[in-house]
Amino acid sequence: MENIIKDFLSRFYSVSERPALEAQIELFSTESFLKGKKVLDATPVFRNTLNKYLVMLACGMDLTVGYGGKIPYDAEIVAFLRSIGVRTVENGTADETFDFVLDCAGVNADVETEYGVSELTRSGFYQYQDKNKKVFLADSSRIKSIETALGTGDGFLRAMQKLGYGDLRGRKIIIFGCGKVGFGVAMYCAENGADVYAVDDWQNRSVPHKFHMVSRFDRRQIDDLTADAFCVVSATGIYGGLTQTLDLQKLVKSDALIANIGVEDEFAGLISKKRILNDNQPLNFILEEPTHLKFIDPTMALHNAGMKILFNAADGEKFILPDEKINDFYLNIVRKHGIINKELDMLEKYSCQE
């Protein structure tokens, strides 16, 4: 099974795109604590997720893959997994006890587990608040911003290129929400010569000089800016997030491209999905690989590493955050053996600017 996956993946990826997972295979397969343990992995199932399962299989774990149940997935990859004998189950429906659950958005919050849960997203945190379980929160890490900021920013740019809008030089781009994802989009747009306006609540935060800071409460400035924008991007992550923030009817009539990079409908149905690129789905999801493996590899490794942390955690612990040591461990591997040093430098450069 492992070799079939490896052969399949070798058609698409080089080892340098998954340095953290590759190192983890070496590291974990020499330890016996995972051997024979049952794991349910609910990471969204796409082609690049297969790289993650190689770690579990190399350790001799009993792997079940969770798919769907509000988490996007590639049905062809689920079919491929089944065809080679990997057990799959719809998220939220497993009725057996697993040693570990590697969850996403808390969709398996009710599944029984022996050692605990490693959770991939922030929204999963809320699902586990009232559960009596040990939970490792992979989202609360510097590593995660490699995926969310760099990976999504890169995916946004590649999607714009695919649609024929890749030349951003001198173009005015207004980004609503400058959290991890919006920041990454802003960074890639600025690096490619765009005139970037970042709209958020800036009372306690600042952004790099390369972006213009716009208060989300300055309705007049926002409406003036969007009137002649090249592209308006929503990245608040909130359903209906933009309905009170700008004049949507004016936006619809303008020439601006409208793109959503978040997973919610930030326009709450007030704009026809046909007026929004990719029918209001996250723009990078028009790509075969929405987030390149090279950016998601350390996040996947950290999510897996949660199993070791849970195994060694003291009884009574509830939420466990990744510490600096584990962040540095995987970041150093990516720096040394990966191919994203230029992008990591960019992230540091932008994060340091006042």
Ligand X SMILES: NC(=O)c1ccc[n+]([C@@H]2O[C@H](COP(=O)([O-])OP(=O)(O)OC[C@H]3O[C@@H](n4cnc5c(N)ncnc54)[C@H](O)[C@@H]3O)[C@@H](O)[C@H]2O)c1
User: What is the nearest approach in angstroms of ligand X to the Cβ of residue 238?
Assistant: 5
Residue count, binding to ligand X (CB under 6 A): 29
User: What is the nearest approach in angstroms of ligand X to the Cβ of residue 27?
Assistant: 27
- Could you tell me the maximum CA-CA distance found in the chain, to the nearest angstrom? 62
Per CB under 6 A, which region of 130-138, 147-155, 185-193, 331-339 contacts ligand X? 147-155
Q: Which of 43, 113, 118, 284 binds ligand X (CB under 6 A)?
A: 284
**Which residues, 163 to 222, sit near ligand X by CB under 6 A?**
176-182, 199-201, 216
**Which residues, 4 to 43, sit near ligand X by CB under 6 A?**
none
Whichever of 242 and 271 has its CB closer to ligand X, that residue is 242
Q: Which of 62, 191, 247, 264 binds ligand X (CB under 6 A)?
A: 264
Contact 72, 99 (CB under 8 A): no
Q: DSSP letter for 30, please.
A: T
Q: Tell me the residue number closest to ligand X, measured at CB.
A: 179
Q: Which of 304, 302, 291, 329 is nearest to 149 (CA)?
A: 291
Q: Torsion over CA of 107, 113, 115 and 118, rounded to 10 degrees?
A: -10
Whichever of 93 and 244 has its CB closer to ligand X, that residue is 244
**Which residues, 65 to 104, sit near ligand X by CB under 6 A?**
none
User: What is the nearest approach in angstroms of ligand X to the Cβ of residue 309?
Assistant: 23
User: What is the nearest approach in angstroms of ligand X to the Cβ of residue 298?
Assistant: 15
Contact 242, 236 (CB under 8 A): yes
- 320, containing H or E segment: strand 319-320
Tokens 């792997």 — which residue? 63
Contact 211, 197 (CB under 8 A): yes
Contact 185, 235 (CB under 8 A): yes
What proportions of the chain, in percent to the nearest 5, are helix, strand and coil?
45, 15, 40
User: What is the nearest approach in angstroms of ligand X to the Cβ of residue 341?
Assistant: 22
Q: Which of 106, 124, 208, 282 binds ligand X (CB under 6 A)?
A: 282
H helix and E strand count, the chain: 13, 12
Q: Which of 64, 91, 152, 299 binds ligand X (CB under 6 A)?
A: 152
Whichever of 72 and 92 has its CB closer to ligand X, that residue is 72
The DSSP result for 198-263, as a single string, is EEE--TT----TTEEEEETT-HHHHHHHHHT-SEEEE---STTTTTTTS-HHHHHHSS-EEEE-SS
Whichever of 86 and 185 has its CB closer to ligand X, that residue is 185
Whichever of 98 and 197 has its CB closer to ligand X, that residue is 197
Whichever of 176 and 211 has its CB closer to ligand X, that residue is 176
303 binds ligand X (CB under 6 A): no
Q: Hey, which residues does 137 pair with through a beta bridge?
A: 119
Quickly count: other Cβ atoms within 10 Å of residue 206's Cβ.
10
Name the residue type at position 251. Answer: L
Whichever of 44 and 338 has its CB closer to ligand X, that residue is 44
139 binds ligand X (CB under 6 A): no
Whichever of 22 and 119 has its CB closer to ligand X, that residue is 119
**Which residues, 223 to 262, sit near ligand X by CB under 6 A?**
235-238, 241-242, 245, 261-262
Whichever of 19 and 155 has its CB closer to ligand X, that residue is 155
Q: DSSP letter for 331, please.
A: H
Whichever of 19 and 241 has its CB closer to ligand X, that residue is 241
> What are the helix (H) ranges across the chain?
2-10, 19-29, 50-58, 75-83, 122-128, 142-145, 152-162, 180-191, 219-227, 248-253, 293-312, 324-337, 341-352
User: What is the nearest approach in angstroms of ligand X to the Cβ of residue 183?
Assistant: 7
Q: Hey, which residues does 198 pair with through a beta bridge?
A: 175, 213
The footprint of ligand X (CB under 6 A) covers 148, 152, 155, 176-182, 199-201, 216, 235-238, 241-242, 245, 261-264, 282, 284, 290-291
